């Protein structure tokens, strides 16, 4: 029973809590159920079906906390994990940051669960992957891809009367298409709550088209270029910025710290066109309805018209600073504009179209400078037209600088990060003065 219903989760957590002898106790239950198929060289390479449930117990004595987890649910194991958490709490020194647990809260029902996605089977996965392979075989290319569906639930209960439950589904597909010689490569990635929106064949057609149009790339000089970032490229860059944490900013160790002390809350940090927010009830990108502390999640603006609108405050830090706690982002949505990708290309005198970015890592947390590379479809634009494919670049750029240099935004699309596989709603974007620092021979 990897996916517990609300009632089943409630009954189990109640039983676990009944074993508690601590001052306060929080018990949480999480489960995943799903499967995957991985392909390479136009054939399946690995596939699996995995179901797990895990229980975590946090026990508190005064200001002392201990946590233990287990994945066995017979009565003896349940009692054992509670005792283990209590032993750890007794051994722990006092932590002045320990906050009293929250009492009962009111939560709106999550909209993140889709029964069709939850009902996927090994057979339906194989069929969806087969449709993708048909496209690459017809184009005489080789596909390496990954399809995964996951149903998740999480529930939390504490000795103060809090109970929260969420259930969600997710299906992702990504595919890289290359020729046998390894001289061309294309990519596409899709992620949805509802499997009915997933069309593996059309995604593969886009990857195929990217690959076929990237033959014989020319080397052009690195430097500052106007770039058009497709959503899957843009989001990987921006993902590194989506932690709008007040505490590290106030401690003077964040890109949101202010010179002389304090934070940049209320400051205009980006272009007017930039609006970034969280909303667990967005129908295109539904998210969890409560956070790890059991606080209800609602729509929260982070950047509004380029201004830092909110920073997240943990319950402890909010109390210390005398402000209301603000839970961190549950999901991320960036508003877009009306410019189509074609119009962005048409209005570009000299620039680079970037299909995908790769291996992004933080270089300098002070400026949020990131490095990484382009991959799977990088094209030179001149006088409003794509002229030719170019060799891949390494870049060194900050998403904050990037969002100051916004020329145009397109319609937001649900897209996934190629590293974390989290889903986001992000528009394609045209950015001026993006810094490429060297060339790569990689295809």
Q: How far is the CB of 436 from another protein (least distance, A)?
A: 11
Joined together, the tokens standing for residue 391 give: 């060799």
25 or 344, CB closer to another protein? 25
Q: How far is the CB of 61 from another protein (least distance, A)?
A: 13
344 or 403, CB closer to another protein? 403
Q: How far is the CB of 164 from another protein (least distance, A)?
A: 21
191 or 280, CB closer to another protein? 191
Q: How far is the CB of 187 from another protein (least distance, A)?
A: 8
- Using CA atoms, how far apart are residues 209 and 318, in angstroms rounded to an integer? 51
Which H or E run contains 86? helix 75-91
With beta carbons less than 8 A apart as the criterion, state whether 354 and 337 touch: no
What is the 8-class DSSP label of residue 218? B
89 or 332, CB closer to another protein? 89
74 or 349, CB closer to another protein? 74
Alpha helices in 111-150 (DSSP H): 115-118, 122-138
340 or 366, CB closer to another protein? 366
- Residue 5 makes CB contacts below 8 A (sequence gap 6+) with none
What is the 8-class DSSP label of residue 257? B
93 or 349, CB closer to another protein? 93
Going by DSSP bridges, is the β-strand pair 224-229/350-364 parallel, antiparallel, or unpaired? Answer: parallel
Q: Which CA distances in Å does 210 have to 101, 291, 375?
A: 52, 39, 11
Which H or E run contains 36? strand 24-40
Q: How far is the CB of 259 from another protein (least distance, A)?
A: 3
Q: How far is the CB of 364 from another protein (least distance, A)?
A: 6
Q: How far is the CB of 86 from another protein (least distance, A)?
A: 12
With 0-12 / 13-18 / 19 or more C-beta atoms within 10 angstroms meaning exposed / middle / buried, residue 47 is: middle
With beta carbons less than 8 A apart as the criterion, state whether 68 and 81 touch: yes
Q: Is the dihedral of CA 133, 137, 139, 142 positive or negative?
A: positive
Q: How far is the CB of 222 from another protein (least distance, A)?
A: 10
With beta carbons less than 8 A apart as the criterion, state whether 273 and 409 touch: yes
42 or 347, CB closer to another protein? 42
- Using CA atoms, how far apart are residues 199 and 101, in angstroms rounded to an integer? 44
């Amino acid at each position: 029973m990897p996916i517990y219903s609300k009632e089943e989760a409630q009954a189990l957590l109640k039983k676990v809590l009944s074993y508690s002898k601590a001052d306060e106790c929080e018990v949480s239950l999480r489960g995943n159920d799903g499967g995957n198929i991985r392909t390479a060289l136009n054939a399946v390479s690995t596939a699996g079906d995995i179901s797990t449930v895990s229980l975590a117990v946090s026990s508190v004595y005064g200001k002392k906390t201990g946590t233990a987890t287990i994945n066995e649910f017979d009565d003896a194991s349940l009692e054992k994990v509670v005792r283990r958490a209590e032993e750890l709490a007794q051994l722990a020194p006092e932590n002045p940051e320990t906050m009293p647990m929250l009492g009962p809260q009111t939560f709106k029902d999550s909209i993140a669960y889709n029964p069709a996605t939850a009902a996927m089977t090994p057979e339906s996965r194989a069929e969806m992957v087969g449709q993708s392979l048909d496209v690459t075989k017809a184009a005489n290319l080789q596909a390496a891809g990954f399809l995964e569906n996951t149903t998740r639930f999480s529930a939390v209960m504490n000795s103060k009367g809090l109970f929260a439950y969420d259930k969600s589904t997710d299906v992702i597909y990504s595919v890289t298409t290359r020729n046998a010689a390894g001289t061309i490569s294309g990519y596409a990635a899709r992620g949805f709550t509802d499997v009915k929106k997933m069309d593996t064949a059309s995604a593969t057609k886009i990857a195929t088209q990217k690959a076929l149009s990237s033959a014989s790339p020319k080397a052009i000089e690195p430097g500052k270029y106007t770039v058009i970032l497709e959503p899957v490229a843009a989001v990987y860059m921006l993902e590194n910025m989506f932690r709008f944490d007040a505490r590290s900013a106030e401690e003077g160790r964040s890109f949101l710290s202010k010179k002389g002390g304090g934070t940049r809350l209320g400051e205009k940090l980006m272009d007017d066109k930039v609006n970034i927010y969280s909303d667990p009830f967005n129908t295109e990108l539904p998210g969890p309805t409560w956070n790890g502390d059991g606080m209800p999640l609602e729509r929260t603006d982070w950047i509004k018209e380029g201004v830092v609108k909110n920073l997240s405050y943990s319950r402890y830090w909010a109390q210390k600073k005398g402000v209301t706690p603000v839970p961190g982002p549950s999901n991320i949505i960036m508003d877009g504009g009306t410019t189509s990708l074609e119009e962005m290309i048409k209005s570009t005198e000299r620039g680079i179209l970037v299909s995908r970015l790769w291996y992004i890592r933080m270089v300098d947390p002070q400026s949020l400078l990131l490095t990484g590379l382009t991959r799977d479809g990088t094209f030179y634009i001149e006088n409003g037209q794509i002229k030719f494919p170019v060799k891949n670049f390494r870049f060194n750029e900050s998403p904050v600088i990037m969002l100051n240099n916004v020329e145009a935004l397109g319609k937001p699309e649900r897209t996934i990060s190629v590293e974390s596989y989290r889903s986001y709603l992000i528009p394609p974007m045209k950015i001026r003065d993006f810094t490429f620092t060297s060339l790569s021979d990689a295809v």
